Chains A and B, each alone.
Chain A
Amino acid sequence: MTWFKRITKGISTDTKEKKEVPDGLWHKCSSCKETYTTDVLVENLFVCPKCQFHNRINAPQYFDILFDDGKFEELFANIAPKDFLQFEDVKPYSARLSAAQRQTGLKDAMTVGVGDVNGKKLVIACMNFNFIGGSMGSVVGEKISRAIDYAIKHKHAFMIISKSGGARMMESAFSLMQMAKTSAKLTQLANAKLPYISLLTDPTTGGVTASFAMLGDINIAEPKALIGFAGPRIIKETIRKDLPAGFQRSEFLVEHGFLDFIVDRHDLKQKLTDTIEWFGTK
């Protein structure tokens, strides 16, 4: 029996509690601690059947959920990162890249696909958090840029699914400039009168929030996703006060007017369909 009980969860998450797509046979919900088989979780789109906690998923899962019969064409898969600055901290950036590539089978943190969503064409650029924290480097920027060109050329609606810790420090100012680059390209999409839907998922922070993630014709988010410019730890250190419960979560952003609505993963496809329908693209 302890004297004190922690009612609200702390801001910092233990490594063992980091949310990743489960690969074991059993899954314990990191939010409500309920245990069930992984099959149940997958069946339920990686949402906890008990507490509706949305587990983090990446491009393959989103594409599977959203595109009709899970069918899509991957675009610009040939674009790969390069350690142009030969950046080295505790390990060389090139080593980080090859390790991430080995672990994920991806080339970088962004996957672009085009396909039908209930019969409506949609170009989706989806970030992969499992690749160096979904950080935004030159490849992320270039793939968004080309996806926008593709959407303009084919007159398709465009969506970005953001899931990122922000800019990739190992690409220094080049990563910063991806904010300018992606925003510049989005103005071209806007001038072509094509819709841009921004879906923010847990977590979306830093340079991604301060560029394309906040620039949608509509900005929508999954429930309880962490969304912000500065990370909660930095803010806490700056103001030297505890942060209010629910600070920087999707519901908080809706309250403050920065999101159009929150969408449960189960409703995402239908909502998207209705939205594209309203925008009137083919």
Chain B
Amino acid sequence: MQFLDFEKPIEDLNQQLEKLKALAEKNNVDMSASISELETTIDKTRKNLYANLTPWQRVQLSRHPERPYTLYYISQICDKFTELFGDRNVADDKAIVGGFAEIGGEHVMLIGHQKGTNTKQRQLRNFGMANPEGYRKALRLMKIAEKFNRPIVTLIDTPGAFPGLEAEERGQGEAIARNLFEMINLKVPVICIIIGEGASGGALGIGIGDKVVMLENTWYTVISPENCSTILWHSWDFKVKAAEQLKLTSKDMSSFGLVDDVIAEPEGGAHNQPEAMAESLKKYILDTIKTLSKIAPEKRIEQRIEKFSNMGFYEEL
């Protein structure tokens, strides 16, 4: 288990617990009373800590190295999954995966950003930063879903669309813009779930849906706190402040009406109990498909356009 800086108290207690357990085993004495007492303390400490997370701590959690990614959720929630590759133009982008999925008897098109779980994988997945091919592959798969009347689920987890030379040559801006334009009019139900980082256009590029939802400890906004700090404060040192100012947490986003729901995470975050997290995710997807399927396609599209058209704050003088 890897601990984040603010989890230091838990880490210390955990070390004590390990020592105690080792001692009990070595000397063959019954220390179960002390062990269970310590475990209760750990739970209590964690509960306190997680009850008052700051925006920056949630950003840290969203990037926890052990946080579950799209392929983990696929392995947990899908009865069947066939991955589909390629944008039919240039390449297959490994930072976005997608394919035919069967979840609890429902056939859906499941698409999501994928980050790597070790150094080699992280490079392969380009740290979850998609190129235009990724967005075009996603759109291709969504069009298949629309044609065959299957709901679409996207899982969003990206530090941003890739700012590379080839990405620009192949029209990163156009690829994202095209997805926004096309997704708004998809005839099938679309559910978009932010499972980690929701950074800017890179997230929005697969993020236009009837329901846009966030897992509790994720963030979603126009820029990462680090980049915001660099641009507005001209220094890397204000990321914590930037995270506060951006109001990027699931709670804020839902209070603004910019996301539709928040899915609670297990105690200690998604990485602490990934299976429980996957279970809630699955339940949410199935319940929501059921609700959305009851609405006529034209009505759904109308409501989708209406929802996004109402976003913004201004005065009329």
B221 interface residue per 8 A CB criterion: yes
B172 interface residue per 8 A CB criterion: yes
Contact B305 A176 (CB under 8 A): no
Determine which of A173, A180, A206, A230 lies in contact with B167 in the assembled complex, contact meaning CB atoms within 8 Å.
Answer: A230
With A88-B245, A214-B171 already in contact, the answer to whether A239 and B165 are too (CB < 8 A) is yes
Q: Mark B169-206, 1 if CB is under 8 A from A, else 0.
A: 11111101110110011000000000000001100110
Q: A167 vs B168: C-alpha distance in the bound complex, in angstroms?
A: 18
Contact A234 B163 (CB under 8 A): yes
28 contacts between A and B (CB under 8 A): A79-B317, A84-B313, A90-B234, A138-B312, A139-B314, A142-B314, A170-B232, A171-B222, A172-B247, A173-B248, A174-B312, A176-B201, A177-B204, A177-B312, A179-B204, A180-B180, A181-B311, A187-B185, A188-B305, A209-B173, A210-B161, A210-B177, A210-B201, A213-B173, A230-B172, A235-B163, A239-B165, A257-B171
Contact B258 A185 (CB under 8 A): no
Determine which of B163, B228, B305, B317 lies in contact with A230 in the assembled complex, contact meaning CB atoms within 8 Å.
Answer: B163
Determine which of A138, A174, A181, A247 lies in contact with B165 in the assembled complex, contact meaning CB atoms within 8 Å.
Answer: A247
Determine which of A184, A187, A241, A256 lies in contact with B169 in the assembled complex, contact meaning CB atoms within 8 Å.
Answer: A256
Q: A173 vs B315: C-alpha distance in the bound complex, in angstroms?
A: 18
Q: Mark B209-229, 1 if CB is under 8 A from A, else 0.
A: 000000000001111000010
Q: 8 Å CB contacts to B: which residues of A204-250?
A: 206-207, 209-215, 227-230, 234-235, 238-239, 241, 243, 247-248
B72 interface residue per 8 A CB criterion: no
B208 interface residue per 8 A CB criterion: yes
Given A89-B232, A138-B311, 8 new contacts (CB under 8 A) = A169-B222, A169-B223, A169-B228, A176-B204, A179-B204, A187-B305, A210-B176, A239-B164
Q: 8 Å CB contacts to A: which residues of B132-170?
A: 161-165, 167-170
Contact B181 A172 (CB under 8 A): no
Contact B258 A174 (CB under 8 A): yes
Q: Which B residues are CB-close (under 8 A) to A111?
A: none
Contact A215 B177 (CB under 8 A): yes
Contact A177 B311 (CB under 8 A): yes
Contact A229 B163 (CB under 8 A): yes
Q: A212 vs B205: C-alpha distance in the bound complex, in angstroms?
A: 13
Q: A173 vs B181: C-alpha distance in the bound complex, in angstroms?
A: 19
Q: A73 vs B145: C-alpha distance in the bound complex, in angstroms?
A: 45
A175 interface residue per 8 A CB criterion: yes
Q: A241 vs B258: C-alpha distance in the bound complex, in angstroms?
A: 38
Task: Give the nearest-CB partner of B168 in chain A.
Answer: A228
B6 interface residue per 8 A CB criterion: no
Q: Which B residues are CB-close (under 8 A) to A212?
A: 177
Q: Which A residues are CB-close (under 8 A) to B238?
A: 89
A80 interface residue per 8 A CB criterion: yes
Q: Which A residues are CB-close (under 8 A) to B167?
A: 229-230
Nearest Cβ on chain B to A138's Cβ, whole angstroms? 3
B233 interface residue per 8 A CB criterion: yes
Q: 8 Å CB contacts to B: which residues of A176-194?
A: 176-181, 183-188
Contact B316 A78 (CB under 8 A): yes
Q: A175 vs B200: C-alpha distance in the bound complex, in angstroms?
A: 10
A32 interface residue per 8 A CB criterion: no
Contact A248 B168 (CB under 8 A): yes
B308 interface residue per 8 A CB criterion: yes
A81 interface residue per 8 A CB criterion: yes
B309 interface residue per 8 A CB criterion: yes
Contact B164 A167 (CB under 8 A): no
Contact A138 B171 (CB under 8 A): no
Determine which of A81, A178, A180, A210 lies in contact with B184 in the assembled complex, contact meaning CB atoms within 8 Å.
Answer: A180
A258 interface residue per 8 A CB criterion: yes
Q: A207 vs B178: C-alpha distance in the bound complex, in angstroms?
A: 13
Q: A167 vs B315: C-alpha distance in the bound complex, in angstroms?
A: 19
With A175-B222, A212-B177, A256-B171 already in contact, the answer to whether A169 and B316 are too (CB < 8 A) is no
Nearest Cβ on chain B to A274's Cβ, whole angstroms? 24
Q: Which A residues are CB-close (under 8 A) to B308?
A: 177, 180-181, 184
A40 interface residue per 8 A CB criterion: no
- The interface centre, meaning the residue of A87, A89, A141, A206 with most chain B CB atoms within 10 A of its CB, is A89
Task: Give the nearest-CB partner of B176 in chain A.
Answer: A210
Nearest Cβ on chain A to B158's Cβ, whole angstroms? 13
Nearest Cβ on chain A to B162's Cβ, whole angstroms? 8
Q: A142 vs B309: C-alpha distance in the bound complex, in angstroms?
A: 8
Nearest Cβ on chain A to B90's Cβ, whole angstroms? 12
Contact B313 A138 (CB under 8 A): yes
B256 interface residue per 8 A CB criterion: yes
Contact A78 B317 (CB under 8 A): yes
Contact A178 B312 (CB under 8 A): yes
Closest A-B pairs by Cβ, 7 of them:
A230-B163, A138-B312, A209-B173, A183-B180, A89-B232, A229-B173, A84-B313
Contact A181 B222 (CB under 8 A): no
Q: A227 vs B164: C-alpha distance in the bound complex, in angstroms?
A: 14
Q: A139 vs B177: C-alpha distance in the bound complex, in angstroms?
A: 20
Contact B168 A235 (CB under 8 A): yes
A275 interface residue per 8 A CB criterion: no
Nearest Cβ on chain A to B265's Cβ, whole angstroms? 20
Contact B171 A258 (CB under 8 A): yes
Determine which of A90, A169, A247 lies in contact with B168 in the assembled complex, contact meaning CB atoms within 8 Å.
Answer: A247
A282 interface residue per 8 A CB criterion: no
Q: A64 vs B172: C-alpha distance in the bound complex, in angstroms?
A: 33
A30 interface residue per 8 A CB criterion: no
Q: A85 vs B247: C-alpha distance in the bound complex, in angstroms?
A: 8
With A178-B311, A188-B305, A230-B167 already in contact, the answer to whether A172 and B180 are too (CB < 8 A) is no
